[in-house]
Structures are given as structure tokens and as C-alpha cells.
Amino acid sequence: RLQPVRHRADNQWRGDDRFVRITYDPKGPSDVSVDPLAANDDREPVPLDLRTGTVDALSAAYTASLNGRNCHDTIKVFDGRRRYNILTRAAGQQQTSGPAYQGPAFLCELELRRIAGHSKSPWLPPSDEETGRIWFANVSADWPPIPVRFEIDILLGSVTVHLQSATARDLD
């Protein structure tokens, strides 16, 4: 299982700066710093016991991509504000088409289940179903399957992300 070392996120919401800093030990987040604090952000803080064994959102996405064809997992996520699970399940092979890849791909379906720390008055009402799909393909004989297409449905509409290019680089 992937083990993050630290997570950092900086953003703005309605003109206000926000940040999250998380440091991890083998059990999960060991030090969490956020601004604004939950009490000032219309949410309940996530209890410490619900943070154990979690990863950040980027590590969750990477874990899902590593699982590729073995897409059957529950990934526990704590993003510094919210706690949720991402459930993955295999949905077979399909044809997909995009700018960098056209052909057969393995489909992995995603479901997000809210656990704690979500806004008490979100700007969009929470959806009963928060789902997505990732297509994995072998774009090179030397590589493991990588994500070539990602779709997620949100209340405002659907978001589709396609792989634009893929190149190998030497990391030495």
C-alpha cells in the first residue's frame, strides 16, 4: 500500500486563501495544519480515530492507478478537512478514444462515500451518488497500464479528462 510522507494544498475559496499541510507516519496523518480551522469553515473536525490508515487525495488517485486491472479496493482518504472512502470495482474491457490513445481499455468504476468533516452548508447540495470512471490501457509494452480517460459526474455536469501525451523519461 502506498504510504505518503507529506501533503500540501494551497488554494483560494471566494477570494480567501486556504491551505492544508499534512505530515504522515506509518499509521497515517501525524501532524495536520489547516486554515481556516473547521470551526471557522462551517464543518466539524474529523476525529483522530477516523484519520488512521488514510492517505491524501493524490495518493488515493495514484493507488487506484496502480491497481489497474485489479480494480477492487476501498481507499481511505483524509484531505485535511474531509474524510471519505473511494470504493473501486472492475467493470471490464471497453473501447475508448482520446487525443493520445484509442483502443481497448480496462474500466474501473469509482464511488465516493462521505464519512466526516463535510460542510454543514455546501454551496451545492450533496449528491446521493458521487461516482466516476477511470479507463486504464497499455500505451507501451514496457509500461504497466496507465489512466487514459477519467470521468466524474457532478451536479454542475460531467467532467472528462483524457490523456494528452505519454513519454518515458529517465529519472536518474
Per-residue pLDDT tens over the stretch 56-67: 988 887 777 676
Tell whether the model's pLDDT for residue 68 goes beyond 70.
no
Per-residue pLDDT tens over the stretch 5-57: 999 999 888 898 999 999 999 999 999 999 999 988 889 999 999 999 999 98
Query: What nine digits make up the cell of 114?
Result: 462521505
Q: How far apart are CA 84 and CA 97, in angstroms?
A: 31
Q: How far apart are CA 137 and CA 163, in angstroms?
A: 11
Query: What nine digits make up the cell of 63?
Result: 493507488
Instruction: Tell me the DSSP string of 4-50.
Output: -SEEEEEEEETTEEEEEEEEEETTEEEEEEEES-GGGTTSPPPPGGG
Omega of the bond leading into 36 within 30 degrees of 0 (cis):
yes
Bridge partners (DSSP) listed for residue 121: none
Tell whether the model's pLDDT for residue 121 goes beyond 80.
no
- Look up the pTM and report it: 0.77
Instruction: Output the CA angle 16-119-109, nearest 5 degrees.
Output: 110
More confident residue, 53 or 169: 53
Tell whether the model's pLDDT for residue 127 goes beyond 80.
no
DSSP 55: B
